[in-house]
Amino acid sequence: MNEGKNDPSLEDLSAKLGALKAERDLEAQRRKAKDEASRKSGLGAAWKISSELVGAVIVGSAIGYGLDYAFGTSPLMLIVFVLMGCAAGILNVFRAAGVFSYGPGRRPGSQRSDTDPKDPVE
């Protein structure tokens, strides 16, 4: 029969197998790098969210303490501004987490109608 002409040689098969193994290894390295980047990105987001919460509480406490010191209203302003700092921190956490996301052309409090043809499609 036709031996040698249509059948791939052992060297050709070995070269193809080597190329496929190299491609598979490269793909595994890319996947590993992507997973590592994703993990680092998640850690960065967690640090951002936690620092926004803590920062808002600290700023509120400092403002409240300063106003108490200036006006002599010992715990009153501190309590008010700590609560306002907590509220601002929680709002920042929600925004960073994507719970409150305002798209282009959208304002806080505006409701989008799915049947309104004038509404821009996002």
pLDDT in tens, 29-86: 998 888 887 777 878 888 989 999 999 999 999 999 999 999 999 899 999 999 999 9
| pLDDT value at residue 33 | 85
Between 16 and 1, the higher pLDDT residue: 16
pLDDT in tens, 86-119: 999 999 999 888 876 666 656 555 555 555 555 5
List, as one string, the DSSP characters of the chain. Answer: --TTTSSPPHHHHHHHHHHHHHHHHHHHHHHHHHHHHHHHHHHHHHHHHHHHHHHHHHHHHHHHHHHHHHHT-TTHHHHHHHHHHHHHHHHHHHHHHTSS---TT--TT----TT-TTSPP-
